[in-house]
Amino acid sequence: MSTSKKLPLNSILQGDCIELMNSLPEKSVDMIFADPPYNMQLSGELRRPDDSHVDAVDDHWDQFESFAVYDAFTEEWLAAAQRVLKDDGTLWVIGSYHNIFRVGAKLQDLGFWILNDVIWRKTNPMPNFRGTRFTNAHETLIWCSKDRNAKGMTFNYDALKVMNDDIQMRSDWLLPICSGGERLKVDGEKAHTTQKPEALLYRILTAATNQGDVVLDPFFGSGTTGAVARKLGRNYIGLEREEKYIKVAKERIRKVQPLSPENLEVTTSKRQEPRVPFGSVVERGLLSAGQVLFDSRKRYRARVRADGSLVASDISGSIHKVGARLQGASSCNGWTFWHFDAEGQSVSIDVLRQQVRAEMN
């Protein structure tokens, strides 16, 4: 092994990531963040209800002939990543259901040892326009060590805990997608179809690296990993095939102002009061389908159905909608409007919401 070879710190190498990784000295990087192509298999075009066109990810780099071809590619880059990783280093991979199961299985096969899977919950995902699925509101990250017996991996437990208002950081992270001013544009068009938000990399690098560590990103794209690494005082190595992305990334990273070491303290995340849908009150059995609700003056009555909708004569819908329709109002807060009978007492359904909220904390 030639660890004497100098690492190309804080630069972007152009070319095939597998060849490039194999040209780097083995056991030389502290962490790898990889955002490989997802191999989405889209068929037709998709339009929003207003007939506008959805700009899908149809880049040539996301096209693979078959699962077999994708798997072979995955195995190659993972093996190269394993070689270049220090024994106490870790690998992060992000993906969606299109590819993440294949990537996860393959990295287990190669001997990587999964430490956590982490869910990035998007605050503002693209909705499902045709009403045929659940909103695809998350992506999955896998965090793993080089092998089962690896020791000494960096995990800044306390920094993460502080970041999370002194509560142990969970495996589900709520973060917005990359939009607004952060989204890089070239001639008014997005510079990269799948630019990741800096907040995501901020949390990953804070959790799993230390100042001065070397972070390798084999699918560098628009350079989010490099930008955040520079900001946080980590060294990056970016690998990228496409000239146009490298150009964008270089300019982007150049503009980043590194934080001074004493300012590398973390910002606290805002915690939002969780919204409680009425359906979850029914789902959890706090009220059951068939039960009758009424308003405080008992002028209106409605029956609860299994899906959390209410029925009153020929009207059905959510607690809010039915409350509004019965009163002839344009809106209604169903939580305070509706009551149920508890041993002869009329009780607002809002107490059930508080009960659910209590369970959520």
Subset of 276-305 contacting a copy of itself (CB under 8 A): 277-280, 282-285, 288-290, 303-305
Query: Please, which residue, 3 or 285, has the CB nearer to a copy of itself?
Result: 285
Task: By CB under 7 A, tell whether 294 contacts DNA.
Answer: no
Residues 2-31 that bind DNA (CB under 7 A): none
Spell out the alpha helix ranges (H) of 216-343.
Answer: 224-231, 243-254, 278-283, 319-327, 334-337
The C-alpha atoms of residue 47 and residue 313 are separated, in whole angstroms, by 37
The answer to whether 190 and 180 have CB atoms below 8 angstroms apart is no
144-203 residues near a copy of itself, rule: CB under 8 A: 148, 155-160, 162-172, 174-176, 198-199, 202-203
55 binds DNA, rule: CB under 7 A: yes
Task: Please report whether residue 276 would count as binding DNA according to CB under 7 A.
Answer: yes
**Residue 2 interacting with a copy of itself (CB under 8 A):** no
In the complex with a copy of itself, the residue whose CB is nearer, 28 or 145, is 145
Judge whether 224 and 249 are in contact, CB under 8 Å.
Answer: no
The residues that bridge with 141 in the sheet, in sequence order, are 94, 118
Stretch touching DNA by CB under 7 A, among 12-20, 159-167, 210-218, 252-260: 159-167
Contact predicate 336/348, CB 8 Å: yes
7/356 with CB nearer a copy of itself: 356
Give the residue, chosen from 15, 19, 23, 47, that forms a contact with a copy of itself under the rule CB under 8 A: 47
Instruction: By CB under 7 A, tell whether 177 contacts DNA.
Output: yes
Cβ atoms 304, 291 nearer than 8 A: yes
3-state secondary structure of 11: strand
> Is residue 130 near DNA by the rule CB under 7 A?
yes
Nearer to a copy of itself, 5 or 271 (CB): 271
Q: Within positions 206 to 265, which residues make up the interface with DNA, using CB under 7 A?
A: none
Q: Report in angstroms how near the CB of residue 246 gets to a copy of itself at its nearest.
A: 24
Q: Is 72 in the site for DNA (CB under 7 A)?
A: no
Which residues inside 95-154 make contact with a copy of itself, applying CB under 8 A?
A: 96-98, 100-106, 108-109, 111, 114-119, 121, 123-125, 127-128, 131-138, 140, 142-143, 148
186 token code pair: 């070239």
Nearer to a copy of itself, 25 or 308 (CB): 308
Contact 42, 56 (CB under 8 A): yes
Q: How many CB atoms are located within 10 Å of the residue 330 CB? A: 7
Sequence-separated (6 or more) residues with CB below 8 Å from residue 237: 7, 8, 9, 10, 11, 13, 24, 29, 214, 215, 216, 217
Residues of this chain, 99-128, that bind DNA according to CB under 7 A: 108, 113-116, 123-128
User: Among all chains, which residue has been given the structure tokens 């041993």?
Assistant: 343
